[in-house]
Each structure stands twice: as structure tokens, then as C-alpha cells.
Structure 1
Amino acid sequence: MSLPLSMIATSMVAFTLGLLTTWPIIHRLRTKLADATWTTLHDPLTGMLNRAGLHAALTNSTPAQPVIVALIDLDNFKHVNDTHGHHIGDQLLITIGNRITDLAALHDGTAARLAGDEYAALLPARTDDLERVADTFATVIAQPVTLPAGDDAVTLTVTASLGLVLADTTDCLTQAGLHRADIAMYHAKRHGHSRHAVYRPGMTMPPAQHHRGPRLRDRRHSTGEVTA
């Protein structure tokens, strides 16, 4: 009996030592996998969800639950970069992203940065008063932002144009939700800055002269360029 028990004990010790040796490797691999997954679903500048992450959030939401899809586009953001530099522009994007994320969380929703100065929010449709929701986001976004600029500070105020639509989670996010919100947002921009519009059945994209040019996400997809 002593020999088999000795062999079993030796095997258990060897197994334990092997596990202790390989565990750091397994831990590193799991960490790398988690990091890769996070990178796939999040925007590297703001830490918000990206487009893929927003799709995942919609997929994981309660089936057939109505949601408010809001597309948020900052007005004249290029002027910030041109005047103050991309470093200030990036800080402003992060600050506005935090505001949008906090507002979405207050509504038990989620938010994402889609590209450049364009954000989106998915909110449970606990109200059909989309005008009030839009006003809340626009008001909070337009609060002045004070950012460090070398030995000094700069205070900026940025407004946003919003397009909103009431959608169902069974709809395809890109085709039904964001696409319709995009149409509504362009209608908002057609009437000036700091405006919002709610998508109505039959609403179509306004004439091309009211567009600001190819969207950042479209240019990125067509050229492979990554635009901050």
C-alpha cells in the first residue's frame, strides 16, 4: 500500500507544482484576452463604447424593449482644434463624453463615441417626450468647460445638434436606429446650431447642401484613416 500512496502523493505534488508554474501564464493570457476584448468594444480616447460596443449593448438589452436612440454631433468642433490645438480638442471630447455617459447612466442607458465629435446614446423608453430628453442633453453639453492649457487655462462652450428616434431593440441598430437618428440630426443642423429634431415616419435626408460633407466615420471606412 505504501508504494501506490507514495506515487499518488508524488503525482499530486507534481501536479500542484505544475499548476503553480503555469498559473501566471494563464493569468497573463486571460488578461491579454480581456484587454483585447475591451479594446474591440471601446473608444481609446474617451473610454466610452465604440460602434461595436453599442451594437453589443443593444444585442444584450431586453428583447422588444423600446429604446430612445440619440445621435449627438458637436457644432463647429473643427474650430476648437484649429484655434486651440488637438490636445485641447481631445480634452474637450473626453469631458463632453463624460457628460453624455453620466446623463445616459441617469436614464439607465448607455453611451458611445462613434467617431470624431459624434456620440450616441441608447436610453430605455420610459417616456415618449423625446423633446425633453434632447433639451436635457443639449443643456448639459453646452455648459462651459475649463481646461488646462500650459500655465494657463481656457474656457470653452460647445453646443450640439441632436437627432432622436424611438426604436425597438428588435430593429437593426444601424439601419433603423442610428440611420433614422442621423436623418433627424441633419434636419436639426439644417436650422442652425444647438438644435434637435425627432425622426418622424417618412422623414428623409435633407438636400446635400445642408450636409457638412462626408461624415468622419464614412471617410474613415473609405480611406482606412483613423480620425480623432
Structure 2
Amino acid sequence: MSLPLIMIATGLVAFTLGTLTTWPIIHRLCVKLAGATWALAHDPLTGMLNRAGLHAALTDAAPAQPVIVALIDLDDFKHVNDTHGHDLGDQLLVAIGDRITDIAALHGGTAARLAGDEYAALLPARTGDLKRVADTFATIIAQPVTLAAVDNAVTLTVTASVGLALADTTDCLTEVGLHRADIAMYHAKRNGRSRYAVYRPGMTMPPAQHRRGPRLRDRRQNTGEATA
């Protein structure tokens, strides 16, 4: 074999060996990058979108299209944690998150866990019957949930207050869509458990005595901390 051919063959062997050596490293880096990217947009407990992921979902939606924004807040969830412990409470949050995700998907939308026991959903505005959509969320969430406990299974029932609002994909999600849905949700909360309300133009936040106080995400915004 001539010297040039030997040099070419040696180079090919070296390149192949180098590729085989570095490929596992590149693969591990790609896996880590994909995991980090996923974590930025998802809630670690439920696997649902987080607030950043929900914002991205609205940005990716068709431009200038109306959407239904749903804000879902579980009623008296603290009682579940106090009575059954946080591990069972976390299981319940995951189970309720799965139900909300399924309902959102059924309507061609997406869902997120914003913080604690607060969820949100974005749905295409294919129907003007927002009350039916809100009632679906409230009714399905209120179905009993059977969870695995240390000694035996535990069946729990939790209800939710639901606020719905219409917004456009070009609107700021926090300042328009979620803000309107938040106002509607507080009106639902004022009327009792497992209730819903739809935002109407001119609707304002109910009197303070009917509210639970500042939300965790509101307190974080006031202090400049990041929200979930």
C-alpha cells in the first residue's frame, strides 16, 4: 500500500475512533440539555406546564385568536395536607392535574399548574358556552379520588372554584387573561365550594372579606421573587 493510502486509512481510523469515543459524551450532554429545557417549562410534581410553559403555549398559538383562560383553585386544600399529610396531598395534586390536563386536551387546549393548589388552562374559544366548560372542570374535579396510603387506600373528594375569561392570543396572559379569570374565580369562591364564574366586562375583585388574602404568586411578585 502506498504511503498516501496508508495516511488516508490512518486518518479514517483515527476519525472513527474519535467519533466513537466522543459520541457518548455528546449524547449525555444532549440528554442533560433536553432535561434542563423541559424543567424550565414544566412543574416537577405533576409534569404539567408551569407558568413559563403556559406563556410559551399562548405565544405559540395562532395569532389574534380568542382563547378561553381558566383559573382553577382547589377549595380548602390545606385541610387535606393537615389531615392526611403532604405526601398524600401531593398525590392528590397529581391526580387532579391529570383530570385538568385531560379536560383541556379534550377541548384542544393545554393545562398548567401555576403554584400550590392553583391550576390554569388555555382552550381554543370554539364555543360561546363558557359556563358549560367551567361546569365540566368543577364537576370532574369533584369526583372522588382513590390514593395509595401507607397502610391502605384512601378515597378523598376535593372541590374547586373555577374562573373563566376570554382573551386574545395577543394579550398579555398575566395582565389580561389570568387577571380576568382570577377576578371571576374569586367571585366563584365567594359563592361557596365547587362553584364557577365567568368574567364579564367591568367585573371587579369582590370585597376583601370574601377573599383568602394575597396569593402566593402575588406576594412573590411584590417582593420580586420568581413565580412558579
Is residue 170 of structure 1 aligned with residue 189 of structure 2?
no
- One-letter amino acid matched to 1:151: D
**1:51-99 deviations in Å (ceiling 9; x for gaps):** 0110111111111121110000000101111111111111110100000
**1:7-55 deviations in Å (ceiling 9; x for gaps):** 2222122111111111111111111111111111111111111001101
> Mean alpha-carbon deviation: is it higher for 163-172 or for 215-224?
215-224
TM-score with structure 1 length normalisation? 0.94
CA distance in 1, matches of 2:102, 2:213: 30
Contact 2:51–2:227 (8 Å) recurs in 1: no
**1:200-222 deviations in Å (ceiling 9; x for gaps):** 11111112221102212234554
- Consecutive unaligned residues of structure 1, counting only runs of 5 or more, are none
Contact 2:101–2:111 (8 Å) recurs in 1: yes
- One-letter amino acid matched to 2:161: S
Q: Which residue of 2 aligns with 1:2?
A: 2
Alignment coverage as a number of residue pairs? 227
TM-score with structure 2 length normalisation? 0.94
Q: Which residue of 1 aligns with 2:68?
A: 68
- Consecutive unaligned residues of structure 2, counting only runs of 5 or more, are none
| Structure 1 segment 50-199 matched on structure 2, within 5 A | 50-199=50-199
Q: Which residue of 2 aligns with 1:206?
A: 206
Q: Mark the CA change 1:226 to 1:172 in structure 2 (over 3 Å): closer, same or farther.
A: closer
> Mean alpha-carbon deviation: is it higher for 217-226 or for 193-202?
217-226
- One-letter amino acid matched to 1:136: T
Percent identical pairs in the alignment equals 81
Structure 1 SS opposite 2:45? coil
Structure 1 SS opposite 2:112? strand
Contact 1:162–1:196 (8 Å) recurs in 2: yes
> Mean alpha-carbon deviation: is it higher for 151-160 or for 115-124?
151-160
> Mean alpha-carbon deviation: is it higher for 78-87 or for 209-218?
209-218
Question: Over aligned residues, Cα RMSD in angstroms?
Answer: 1.8
- One-letter amino acid matched to 2:90: D
- One-letter amino acid matched to 2:122: L
